Amino acid sequence: MTRTPEIRAKELLAQLTIEEKLHQLTAQMVFDIGEGYEDRRDPLCGCYRNPGHFMHQNGRISSPGEVARRINLDVKQSMEAQPHAIPPLEHGESLHGAQWGMATIFPQPIGLASTFDPALVGEAADVIGRETAAVGVRQALAPVVNLARDVRWGRTIETFGEDPKLAGDMGAVMCRGFEHNGVAATPKHFVDNYADGGRDSNYSTHSERELREVYLKPFEACFKEGGAHGVMAAYNSLFNGLPAHANPWLLTKVLREEWGFDGIVVSDYGGVDGTAGAHRIAGDLPEAVAICLSSGLDVTLSNLDYKDIREAWDRGILPEEVVDRAVLRLLTLKFRLGLFDHPAVDPDEADRIVRCEAHKKTALEAARKSLVLLENDGMLPFEKGKIRTLGVFGPGADVLPTGRNYSGPYAHLWEAEDARSPLAYFREHAEGVEIVTGGDDEIPALAPRCDAVLYFTFIVEGEGLDRSDLKLPAYRTASAKDEAAQIVDKAELTVEVDQEASILKLAEANPNAAVILMNGAPVDVSAWRGAVRAVLEAWYPGEGGAEALWETLWGDSNPGGKLPVSWPKSVGQLPLFYGYKPSGRGYGYENNDGKPLYPFGYGLSYTSFVLKNPELTRMDAGWALSLDVENTGTRGGDEVVQVYLTSKRTTVVRPVKELVAYCRVSVPGGECARVTLDIPEWVTWYYDADMNFGPHGGEFTLLVGTSAEDRAFSVGLE
């Protein structure tokens, strides 16, 4: 009889002392991997922040093999120190690249979402999963599947945008990529994680209906479709008055009883402490530990002292059945991941695969497909032979286009010998084209002699960097100073120029001007949008970004990315998203119509497309919608067909529209492609007034187009 991970875990659990059990539920993070590291590392903990994240200091970069050897040694020392030789679970960030060091780095998640290509994002996730596991990191604290419906939130950059369907699809393929490589995916932050105003980790104002209809959906997809075996609780409290870390409705009823989740729930860093601190529902840390574990939490990240969980046990407020339940879940996962049977990794293999040519090729393709063309009056692409002098300006021009958010290890920005900033790459590859550059103060003197000019913006976004306005930063320094920001490399922003004024100055000096946006969330473009001829949203396209931008500017690559968020005209429109519920009065403001500047799903191309000849076929479990995508231009390009559901005569109020299917398709110039999209029947199901989910009736119509505001045609469902 095969001894399953569950059976092996139960057998081991029966042999453990209470001290061993309690240690398994703790985690440690040791910042300095220098002298005295082994003395400060407690080898008895069940989980660790991987040391690779902290090895790259004083200007020295550790190789993948060196990181693997360090983690192997830590694992060996832990197993030797414990009576039952239990291997630790090493965790780390893998948001858009394995963050233990200088691994392959992809576009920030907001850029990955812009591809509208789950298959490509799945390939990226497979690379990230392989490079995470290669050094011995076996739990990825990713993906982020919170929805960005107020883009003032600094962590919008980490998300897949505002839509539950898109975020769920992207989150699921990310989870599959991790899990396929023996890494426990850990979608976060469960659930909601910010309040209106973009305030990070503030209490949720959403009802149970809103959570179930919108914010829980991407998480459900990560577990049911992505196979994730981890989840991280959010800092905020929910509608029922309880913090997410201490919320049995969330962690037990929904997650385990309704969804059948069989992995581990980990705290966010300091999240258990917050139950006693910020939320004030526990008197001290031992009581907070007892409340959280009893509610469904399993592992306390990081650094909650063993003495606190031990004191909860000694006081009698932490029942043994609660401890056994959590330890059993963690041990089962460790057996499932193969940690007991194969606790060490091969350092030479790590050196071989990390940033191999195949992985860098995938990063380049992701960068190409993430770019979104927002404005273009014909300036782009450049015509070869006509642009002989190209001006490149702006604070983002000579910066690696990775974004500092979760990019590279602690105390060291991500770097690689073969990675280039846009300016450096342009200089190296500008055959027959002179690259002119200088400070913003030199624009009036340099720009007029150029055939075309580009301005690269600069802004740092991420954890602890929420915004109260959306304008490009000017003449200021900002930094995220809380403890969590240390994990994102102490994100800092220093801007010594007024970027809006510089863009206007550039356009005045040379009317053949374009702006390349380097950002993780929409910015207010109202001051300068009409002055330039083209605007290209690059997000932060990762290590292949400079090459992808060069190809796109010259037409060797045709931008086909689409916005995963609604782009506001001004900050006063926020929060803003397309899937709102009907208003009894209207959606506009006194000074604008309330519509976004660029809608969700929007993006231009160097060619044009027509959607036509729809055919709807009833299937056993839904419908198949077929249509033609005709490229009416001469250039090959990509279009994203988007299908939205709208309804009437339902028993409760439903959103005005919801994305239910999409398909990115490449079509050569002058040709036509037939595509088929599957529409599952359950997309017409909803929660009734008594919060029962099912087919409650109504009249449903599919709106088909190329953005949330564009409609080529509509098709009724019968």
Order of all β-strands in the sheet with 609-619: 609-619, 622-631, 672-680
- For residue 662, CA distances in Å to 139, 339, 665, 715 come to 31, 39, 10, 15
Please, which pLDDT band fits residue 487 given cuts at 50, 70 and 90? low
Residues 448 and 311 in one domain: no
3-state secondary structure of 237: strand
What is the pLDDT at residue 196?
A: 84
Single out the residue in 325, 352, 379 at which a domain terminates: 352
Residues 334 and 457 in one domain: no
Given a cut of 70, whether residue 481 has pLDDT beyond it is no
CB atoms within 10 A of CB 436: 17
pLDDT 10s digits, 552-574: 999 999 999 999 999 999 999 99
Q: Which pair of structure tokens corresponds to residue 541?
A: 């396209």
Q: Is residue 69 part of a domain?
A: yes
Q: 């193969």: which residue's tokens?
A: 338
Residues 340 and 377 in one domain: no
What is the pLDDT at residue 491?
A: 56
CA distance 463 to 188: 13
> Would you call the peptide bond into 631 cis, given omega within 30 degrees of 0 as the criterion?
no
What is the pLDDT at residue 258?
A: 98
| Nearest by Cα to 341 from 8, 48, 22 | 8
Q: Please give the single-letter amino acid code of residue 164.
A: P
Number of compact structural domains in the chain: 3
Q: Is residue 361 part of a domain?
A: no
CA distance 116 to 642: 10
Given a cut of 70, whether residue 280 has pLDDT beyond it is yes
CATH number at residue 674: 2.60.40.10
What is the pLDDT at residue 498?
A: 95
Q: Which pair of structure tokens corresponds to residue 67?
A: 């990181």
Residues 274 and 403 in one domain: no
Helices (H), 296-418: 306-315, 320-336, 347-353, 357-370
Given a cut of 80, whether residue 266 has pLDDT beyond it is yes
Residues 324 and 378 in one domain: no
Q: Judge whether 285 and 308 are in contact, CB under 8 Å.
A: yes
Q: Which pair of structure tokens corresponds to residue 172?
A: 């699921």
Residue 624: which residues within 8 A CB-CB, separation 6 or more? 616, 617, 676, 677, 678, 679
Quote the domain boundaries for residue 703.
609-717
pLDDT 10s digits, 48-72: 999 999 999 888 899 999 999 999 9
pLDDT 10s digits, 354-389: 999 999 999 999 999 999 999 999 999 999 999 999
| Nearest by Cα to 175 from 224, 135, 117 | 224
pTM of the model: 0.97
The rounded mean pLDDT for the chain is 95
Residues 341 and 411 in one domain: no
Higher pLDDT, 490 or 80: 80
Provide mean pLDDT across the span 137-163.
97
Q: Is residue 359 part of a domain?
A: no
CA distance 494 to 479: 9
What is the pLDDT at residue 489?
A: 52
Provide mean pLDDT across the span 125-131.
98
Question: What one-character-per-residue DSSP string does 63-78 give?
Answer: -HHHHHHHHHHHHHHH
CA distance 49 to 217: 29
Radius of gyration for the alpha carbons in the chain, expressed in angstroms and rounded: 26
Q: Is residue 602 part of a domain?
A: no
3-state secondary structure of 351: helix
Q: Is residue 593 part of a domain?
A: no
Q: Is residue 43 part of a domain?
A: yes
3-state secondary structure of 422: helix
Provide mean pLDDT across the span 648-666.
98
Single out the residue in 552, 573, 594 at which a domain terminates: 573
CA distance 219 to 222: 5
Residues 213 and 247 in one domain: yes
3-state secondary structure of 267: coil
Q: 């000017």: which residue's tokens?
A: 474
pLDDT 10s digits, 432-468: 999 999 999 999 999 999 999 999 999 988 888 899 9
Given a cut of 90, whether residue 488 has pLDDT beyond it is no
Q: Would you call 707 exposed, middle or buried from its count of C-beta atoms within 10 A (0-12, 13-18, 19+)?
A: buried
User: 664: which strand partners?
Assistant: 640
How big is the CA angle at 647 (ends 646 and 648), to the nearest 5 degrees?
150
CATH number at residue 277: 3.20.20.300
Given a cut of 80, whether residue 478 has pLDDT beyond it is no
Given a cut of 90, whether residue 480 has pLDDT beyond it is no
CA distance 214 to 12: 40
What is the pLDDT at residue 588?
A: 87
3-state secondary structure of 190: strand
Q: Judge whether 268 and 233 are in contact, CB under 8 Å.
A: yes
Residues 567 and 646 in one domain: no
CA distance 361 to 365: 6
pLDDT 10s digits, 497-516: 999 999 999 999 999 999 99
CA distance 104 to 119: 18
Q: Is residue 366 part of a domain?
A: no
Alpha carbon 18 to its chain centroid, in Å, reads 38
Q: Which pair of structure tokens corresponds to residue 307?
A: 């003495």
Given a cut of 50, whether residue 483 has pLDDT beyond it is no
- For residue 138, CA distances in Å to 47, 121, 263 come to 10, 20, 14
| Nearest by Cα to 146 from 92, 222, 65 | 222
Q: Please give the single-letter amino acid code of residue 420.
A: R
Given a cut of 60, whether residue 714 has pLDDT beyond it is yes
Single out the residue in 573, 601, 628 at which a domain terminates: 573
Pairing of strands 194-195, 199-200: antiparallel
Q: Is residue 579 part of a domain?
A: no
pLDDT 10s digits, 520-530: 999 999 999 99
pLDDT 10s digits, 292-301: 999 999 999 9
Backbone angles phi, psi at 524, to 5 degrees: -75, 115
Residues 345 and 376 in one domain: no
| Nearest by Cα to 123 from 419, 365, 403 | 365
Residues 330 and 381 in one domain: no
Residues 381 and 275 in one domain: no
Residues 299 and 154 in one domain: yes
